[in-house]
Amino acid sequence: MEVLDNLYLGFSHIFILENLIYCFLGVFIGTLIGVLPGIGPVGAMSILLPATFKTSPIGSIIMLGGIYYGAMYGGSTTSILVNIPGEAASVVTCLDGYQMARHGRAGPALGIAAFGSFIAGTLSIVGLMLIAPPLASIALRFGPPEYFSLMCLGLTILIYLASGSIIRALMMAVFGVIIGCVGQDAETGSPRFVFGIYDLMDGIGLAPFVMGLFGISEVFLNIEQVLKERNIFETKLKRLFPNLQDWKDSAMPIMRGSILGFLLGILPGGGAVISSFASYGIEKKISKHPEKFGKGAIEGVAGPESANNSATGGAFIPLLTLGIPPNVVMALLLGALMMHGVTPGPRLIQENPVIFWGVVASMYVGNGMLLLLNLPLIGLWVQVLKVPYKILFPLIILFCVIGAYSINNSTFDIAIMLIFGVLGYLMRKYNFEGAPMVLAFVLGPMLENALRLSLLMSDGSFLIFFNRPIAAGGMIVTILMLISCIVPVIRKKREAIPLEEA
């Protein structure tokens, strides 16, 4: 089979010592950074981007990809043990993973996150290998209306997840769109909400925004309470392996998460973020015991963790086959490739098969390395997290500060991070969720672009979103979901959700 021949080609380039070392370095640093709250994969990749210029193209993409994977794995560890998401895609894991840890089930939570991620990651690579070429040709037919409706659907799925007020989640999403569009207008070049600050012309950076909203705000929330070590669980993680019942409960969520994550990873926008939220929403919706979600349901960990890893495989598809990065992380990879003179696109597979198949092979190897690293070294990561919080939080702040600075070598990004840190802190105090804002922030510019182009195409008519089948499908489902969320609120049939502590 041709695929196997190509895979062999890829593996033959991976199993060179130099590339294996890059792979290992990438996954190790990625996991370490993912474990430490504050710097996410975007920050980690930004910091390490210059270091990869010295390597070969395949070496740099292997390492950057490894960081991305590793940060996903690491993020789930810190979400479960400390209730601080290592990065945006791990936010959902906090919901049930942390609750499992509170009930002494941190081990199975971590175990199922690792195994689920490995299984999903492997499945998604298979998907990437088999589906990339034909999917590329279908996606070529997507126009702005389709993109717009799919992004609206994605945001709606996320809001559907909101455990608090739907209205407030919607408000946060809308605000996310607003701040996501800050900067120079792509069409007219006019500055929008930059307040005369040159640094804002390129918009607000995702990394400082997320680091502030989740990382810094979490630090603030922790230090305002008398610091006890209650946040970090002392559970002896002897039993890392989920029991049979856990596997039974998790098997279908892992499968569903893998497929969902893979498909959503292809779409522009959140990728891993949106797929983890979507998976959680779906698992909760179809569960026979939805009331268990938010209180330690293993499905709430297995599904999203699988989805966010599977999304990485999916996210590579538009990057490597179309040259279109579906999210910020892939945009960084695109930048790295172009620095090495490689232009991803439909011809990459023919002209540079080594790059494509080498990346595919490295993902297999990377996934394997992560499973080997993640489980045995959990003890190490836990020791890292057991450091008293009064010692840990200055380190977290320092990492965040350096991480923010190193993106553009500018203190302005540190300031942005602080501003959103304060906002995130206040939002948590006043019961507004940050997650919808983050996703909408990422999708905002793309949404605007798609909306503009669609209206241009339709000469100002919004009917274009309903005339085309794929777009219409997306919009109808979106509207139905919104109605199904809002009508019960209006009818006051929705149970009052007790406002839990963050």
Site string for another protein, 110-149 (x = CB under 8 A): ----------------------------------------
Determine the Cα–Cα distance for residues 417 and 211; give it in Å rounded to an integer.
Answer: 6
Q: Which of 221, 282, 265, 245 is nearest to 132 (CA)?
A: 265
Q: What angle do CA 454, 455, 460 make, to 5 degrees?
A: 155
Site for another protein in 36-65 (CB under 8 A): 47-48, 50-51
- Asked whether position 196 contacts another protein by CB under 8 A, the answer is no
- Which residues are within 8 A (CB) of 344 and not within 5 positions of it... i.e. 6 or more apart? 319, 320, 321, 322, 323, 334, 337
Determine the Cα–Cα distance for residues 157 and 294; give it in Å rounded to an integer.
Answer: 17
Q: Which of 224, 214, 307, 219 is nearest to 267 (CA)?
A: 307
The minimum distance between CB 399 and another protein, in angstroms, equals: 8
Site for another protein in 367-406 (CB under 8 A): 390-391, 393-395, 397-398, 401-402, 405-406
- Asked whether position 168 contacts another protein by CB under 8 A, the answer is yes
- Asked whether position 167 contacts another protein by CB under 8 A, the answer is yes
Residue 247, both tokens: 């596997």
Residue 437, both tokens: 């804002």
- Asked whether position 165 contacts another protein by CB under 8 A, the answer is yes
- Which residues are within 8 A (CB) of 421 and not within 5 positions of it... i.e. 6 or more apart? 211, 212, 213, 215, 216, 217, 219, 220
Hey, how many other C-beta atoms are within 10 angstroms of the C-beta on 438?
26
- Asked whether position 223 contacts another protein by CB under 8 A, the answer is yes
> Residue 121 or 176: which CB sits closer to another protein?
176
> Residue 139 or 178: which CB sits closer to another protein?
178
- Asked whether position 466 contacts another protein by CB under 8 A, the answer is no
- Asked whether position 181 contacts another protein by CB under 8 A, the answer is yes
- Asked whether position 430 contacts another protein by CB under 8 A, the answer is yes
Residue 393, both tokens: 């939080």
- Asked whether position 226 contacts another protein by CB under 8 A, the answer is yes
Sole window of 91-99, 161-169, 263-271, 472-480 interacting with another protein (rule: CB under 8 A): 161-169
Residue 313, both tokens: 């495989």
DSSP 228-262: -GGGS----TT--S--HHHHHHHHHHHHHHHHHHH
The minimum distance between CB 58 and another protein, in angstroms, equals: 21
Binder of another protein out of 336, 447, 464, 475 (CB under 8 A): 447
Sole window of 3-11, 152-160, 320-328, 458-466 interacting with another protein (rule: CB under 8 A): 458-466
Determine the Cα–Cα distance for residues 196 and 122; give it in Å rounded to an integer.
Answer: 48
Sole window of 102-110, 231-239, 440-448, 474-482 interacting with another protein (rule: CB under 8 A): 440-448
> Residue 215 or 358: which CB sits closer to another protein?
215
Do residues 262 and 123 lie in contact, with contact meaning Cβ atoms separated by under 8 Å?
Answer: yes
How far, in Å, are 100, 107, 243, 250, 375 from residue 239 at the CA level? 13, 5, 9, 17, 11
Count of residues that interact with another protein, criterion CB under 8 A? 63
- Asked whether position 418 contacts another protein by CB under 8 A, the answer is yes
Q: Which residues bind another protein (CB under 8 A)?
A: 47-48, 50-51, 165, 167-168, 170-171, 174-175, 177-178, 181, 185, 187-188, 190, 192-193, 219-220, 223-227, 390-391, 393-395, 397-398, 401-402, 405-406, 409, 411, 414-415, 418, 421-422, 425, 429-432, 444, 447-448, 451-452, 455-456, 458-461, 496, 499
